[in-house]
């Protein structure tokens, strides 16, 4: 692992690190904020998964999460959204290929050799972070925005016991029934829609639910509402009687202005579960 940068931030350290990834078969980069309390021992950790076209840097720079993570004594991990580099498959479209890993393990050509983002975020990167930094693997939460909200919800439900809390900003909530999903899942996983169901938050909510609290924020003026399908997830949570809060925020769109407006609420929500 190589240190790309480390900066003092709200009493803690905002670092950026790179490493050779076995899961993705290329070098990967991630951001990690450690609050001041990490100097005295392991602190709880909140994973933030980003959306389409993003790198590790977008949320790290734009969300404003570090101030609140420092206040609550929580570490933040900002993974990248896909493998990158020479020899890694890509597509001219912004919503497929590099920057659009969709947090799945691809089985189809040309994506299969590198696009194993499920294994990377669920298994490999947690091992690296817990082995090298003062974070407590027993106290984890996960959140994300858009494609990252999709990833956060699916990982929380499919990895029972891993996360104490899950939240999302404008998640891609029903990808098997959306053009933001059917295109990518068919490209990465093939034509068998049974394989897609493992990566659909609405279907997983109906089948599995989450053993903990859920918080969803969605902007009412989101320009991608028809692609996100939040109403499907809201209905599934209601039908399951999931311990969840779904908030439609009047006037907000899909941008990081929306995320930064409510990031304090999400960090506080996770901190309550992580320190309970």
Strand 43-49 versus strand 214-219 pairing type: unpaired
Tell me the β-bridge partners of 190: none
Whether 222 is catalytic is: yes
**Catalytic: which of 174, 254, 266, 270?**
254
Cα dist from 109 to 21, 78, 120, whole Å: 20, 27, 19
Environment class of residue 109 by beta-carbon count within 10 Å: exposed (0-12), middle (13-18) or buried (19+)?
A: exposed
Q: Are 145 and 64 in contact (CB under 8 A)?
A: no
Whether 150 is catalytic is: no
**Catalytic: which of 146, 165, 167, 178?**
146
Q: Are 133 and 32 in contact (CB under 8 A)?
A: yes
Whether 146 is catalytic is: yes
Strand 26-34 versus strand 75-78 pairing type: antiparallel
**Catalytic: which of 114, 145, 222, 270?**
222
DSSP notation for 54-70: --THHHHHHS-HHHHHH
Rounded Cα gap, residues 12 and 66, in angstroms: 9
Tell me the β-bridge partners of 246: 216
Question: For 181, phi and psi rounded to 5 degrees?
Answer: 155, -60
| Residue 244: strand, helix, or coil | strand
Cα dist from 250 to 24, 108, 185, 239, 257, whole Å: 39, 40, 31, 24, 13
Write out the catalytic residue numbers.
146, 222, 254
């Amino acid at each position: 692992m190589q240190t790309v940068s480390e900066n003092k931030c709200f009493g803690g350290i905002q670092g950026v690190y790179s490493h050779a990834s076995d899961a993705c078969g290329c070098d990967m980069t991630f951001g990690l904020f450690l609050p001041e309390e990490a100097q005295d021992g392991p602190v709880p950790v909140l994973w933030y998964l980003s959306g389409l076209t993003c790198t590790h840097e977008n949320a790290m720079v734009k969300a404003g999460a570090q101030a609140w993570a420092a206040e609550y004594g929580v570490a933040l991990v900002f993974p990248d959204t896909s493998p990158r580099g020479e020899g890694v498959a890509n597509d001219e479209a912004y919503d497929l290929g590099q920057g659009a890993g969709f947090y799945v393990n691809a089985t189809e050509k040309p994506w299969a050799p590198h696009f194993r983002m499920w294994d990377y975020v669920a298994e490999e990167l947690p091992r690296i972070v817990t082995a090298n930094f003062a974070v407590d693997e027993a106290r984890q939460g996960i959140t994300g925005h858009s494609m990252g909200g999709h990833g956060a919800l699916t990982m929380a439900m499919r990895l029972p016991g891993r996360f104490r809390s899950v939240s999302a900003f404008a998640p891609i909530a029903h990808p098997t029934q959306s053009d933001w999903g059917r295109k990518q899942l068919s490209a990465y996983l093939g034509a068998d829609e049974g394989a897609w169901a493992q990566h659909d938050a609405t279907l997983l909510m109906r089948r599995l639910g989450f053993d903990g609290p859920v918080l969803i924020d969605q902007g009412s003026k989101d320009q991608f509402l028809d692609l996100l399908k939040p109403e499907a997830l809201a209905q599934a949570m209601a039908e399951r009687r999931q311990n969840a809060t779904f908030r439609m925020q009047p006037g907000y769109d899909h941008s990081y202005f929306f995320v930064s407006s409510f990031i304090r609420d999400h960090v506080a929500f996770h901190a309550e579960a992580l320190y309970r």
